[in-house]
């Protein structure tokens, strides 16, 4: 059962479309729903994801990593974010992965993702990676703080379908690393790609701002930061902000 690439012109959200499809029929692993326009694109923590019609890539891919314990679901974030970096590296430089799963060009966000995992007991069942990559959008009007598109970086448009297909090849090849038990190679690539990997930067948590350096990521996905006095802090997603 080969994965399908379903290209539709419009839907509310490709993640929702994929979940509805999964409820109705058997969907081969690796299948992708790709929409030219989302009327209600969903972002992290209930935000909306704005993307001009026909300009960018907004898609969702389903995997069935049933062999992965639920506490290793961060691997799917690493897979998805690193694969976008690998794609964009073919077109420009200065692409990094911002923990946990944004992709940045310099200090600006070029891609966001919403990964929704269903569990079956202690293990993962279906995992839907919903990915939005800003490709040909000339300008951003929404209230996202620091968006950028590949068009703004390169000064010309790119072929969306070509990048969609290139991405899927990269994503499947990296997923194979997990299937073959070589996930350490993937984790290594993810770590090497990280935004603000070296040196001290300003962060903010519930207690205020502080300077810290990256000190690692736990298998659960928690971020470890090291302060100048040598003390360490451990964060869950959304407990800490990166300050410019």
Q: How far is the CB of 230 from ligand BTN (least distance, A)?
A: 33
Please give the residue whose beta carbon sits closest to ligand BTN in the complex.
112
Stretch that binds ligand BTN, among 10-18, 172-180, 201-209, 228-236 (CB under 6 A): 10-18
Residue 113 touches ligand BTN, criterion: CB under 6 A: yes
In a 10 Å sphere around its CB, with 0-12 CB exposed, 13-18 middle and 19+ buried, how is residue 45 labelled? exposed
Residue 99: strand, helix, or coil: coil
β-strand pairing of 200-205 with 241-242: antiparallel
Stretch that binds ligand BTN, among 23-31, 125-133, 204-212, 225-233 (CB under 6 A): 125-133
Among positions 37, 43, 123, 222, the unique one binding ligand BTN when judged by CB under 6 A = 43
Instruction: Record the tokens describing residue 225, joined without a space.
Output: 């930061």
Residue 114 touches ligand BTN, criterion: CB under 6 A: yes
Q: How far is the CB of 88 from ligand BTN (least distance, A)?
A: 15
Distance of alpha carbon 141 from alpha carbon 156, whole angstroms: 20
Nearer to ligand BTN, 14 or 177 (CB): 14
Non-local CB neighbours of 3 within 8 Å, separated by 6+ positions:
28, 29, 30, 31, 32, 168, 172
Q: Which sign, positive or negative, has the C-alpha torsion 176, 220, 185, 102?
A: positive
Residue 41 touches ligand BTN, criterion: CB under 6 A: yes
Residue 174: strand, helix, or coil: helix
Among positions 131, 150, 164, 225, the unique one binding ligand BTN when judged by CB under 6 A = 131
Distance of alpha carbon 194 from alpha carbon 172, whole angstroms: 21
DSSP state, residue 65: -
Nearer to ligand BTN, 57 or 177 (CB): 57
Residue 112 touches ligand BTN, criterion: CB under 6 A: yes
Residue 99 touches ligand BTN, criterion: CB under 6 A: no
Residue 100 touches ligand BTN, criterion: CB under 6 A: no
Residues that bind ligand BTN (CB under 6 A): 13-15, 38, 41-44, 47, 49, 58-60, 102, 112-114, 130-132
């Amino acid at each position: 059962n080969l994965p399908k690439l379903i290209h539709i012109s419009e839907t509310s959200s490709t993640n929702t479309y994929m979940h509805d499809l999964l409820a109705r029929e058997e969907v081969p692993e690796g299948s992708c729903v790709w929409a030219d326009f989302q009327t209600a694109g969903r972002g992290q923590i209930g935000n909306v994801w704005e993307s001009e019609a026909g300009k960018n890539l907004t898609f969702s891919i389903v995997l069935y990593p049933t062999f992965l314990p639920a506490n290793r679901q961060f691997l799917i974030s690493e897979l998805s974010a690193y694969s976008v970096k690998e794609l964009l590296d073919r077109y420009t430089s200065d692409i990094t992965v911002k923990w946990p799963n944004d992709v940045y060009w310099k200090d600006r966000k070029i891609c966001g993702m919403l990964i929704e995992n269903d569990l079956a007991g202690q293990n993962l069942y279906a995992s839907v990676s919903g990915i939005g990559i800003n490709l040909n959008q000339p300008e951003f009007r929404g209230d996202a703080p620091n968006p950028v598109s590949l068009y703004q970086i390169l000064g010309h448009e790119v072929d969306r379908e070509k990048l969609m297909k290139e991405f899927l090849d990269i994503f499947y090849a990296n997923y194979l690393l997990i299937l073959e038990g070589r996930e350490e190679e993937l984790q290594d690539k993810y770590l090497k790609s990280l935004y603000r990997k070296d040196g001290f930067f300003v962060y903010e948590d519930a207690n205020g701002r502080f300077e810290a350096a990256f000190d690692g990521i736990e298998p659960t996905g928690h971020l470890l930061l090291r302060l100048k006095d040598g003390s360490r802090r451990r964060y869950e997603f959304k407990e800490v902000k990166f300050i410019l």
